[in-house]
Amino acid sequence: MSPTVLREAGYRFFFFSREETRMHVHITSETGEAKFWLKPDIALAKNFGYSQKQLRDIESLIEVHYDEFIHAWQQHFGG
């Protein structure tokens, strides 16, 4: 199960239900895939195909929607 948390600017932000416990979000689009840690700080974990500009744009979207991601994580995984 991979619940979508947000779709914006051509990106899909989602969680994998059976993955590591450290808070993070996956991002995918037609041009690539990435994973960003949410805690303790927003940080790039993996990148497949995104340019530095795209990564900055994605990180900006994560910052804008940070509280939504945290709330969605807590709702989906508990705690």
pLDDT in tens, 18-60: 778 899 999 999 999 999 999 999 999 999 999 999 999 999 9
Per-residue model confidence (pLDDT) at position 77: 87
Question: What SS3 state is found at 57?
Answer: helix
Instruction: Categorize the per-residue pLDDT at 6 as very low, low, confident or very high, splitting at 50, 70 and 90.
Output: very high
What whole-number distance in Å separates Cα of residue 17 and Cα of residue 2? 6
Per-residue model confidence (pLDDT) at position 78: 82
Cβ atoms 78, 23 nearer than 8 A = no
